[in-house]
Structure 1
Amino acid sequence: MSRTIRPVVDNEAQHRFETSIDGEAIAAAYYRIDDNARVVLIHTEVPSEYGGQGFATALATGVFDLIRQAGRKVVLSCSFMADFYRKHPEYADIVDG
């Protein structure tokens, strides 16, 4: 069965970047804004039934792209996002701390 992921959006009210999978399940990367206006990624969640299918990577790519488009910096306190960055050093221009 082919699954689809919607574009990643910033849900500022809930302090998370999110996307829906098949229009139902939510995959999210939670954040806070620090005193230097940097986006601090603190936790990433993808429903377990969607694990291992590339949805977390698609979410991370969307998150990093949105942060870059906004002209902001990111701090990686989430182990998944830190691991994603190690595999994608092309985002070095926005990673701080």
Structure 2
Amino acid sequence: MIASVHVYQGLEVHPLVYPRQATKPGFAHSYDEGFDAAVRIKEPDAADGEGRSRVFVVATGAPFWSSGDARRASTAYAEHLIDTCPPGRTIWDCD
């Protein structure tokens, strides 16, 4: 599977989607309980090393019922975080 990367205002946005319930032994997957989502926001790699990154959990009370919905929500959440970060601060110290 190829991981999707979206660049938004110069930052890489990496959606992270995972089953809400851990896979039980003997089963290939456990998607019946839906999906949870998070997003990694990362600076592009610098010439002298890797850029900073931070993971933000998409806080929802209910699971996403498809991985596509979870992926879209994590991308939208990242864009919201980047857009609402106050002037003079960075995404690395905003919550």
| Same fold, TM-score > 0.5, yes or no | no
The structure with more helix, counted as a fraction of residues: 1
Question: Which of structures 1 and 2 has the bigger CA Rg?
Answer: 2
TM-score scaled to structure 1, two decimals? Answer: 0.30
Structure number with the bigger relative contact order (C-alpha 8 A, sep ≥ 6) is 2
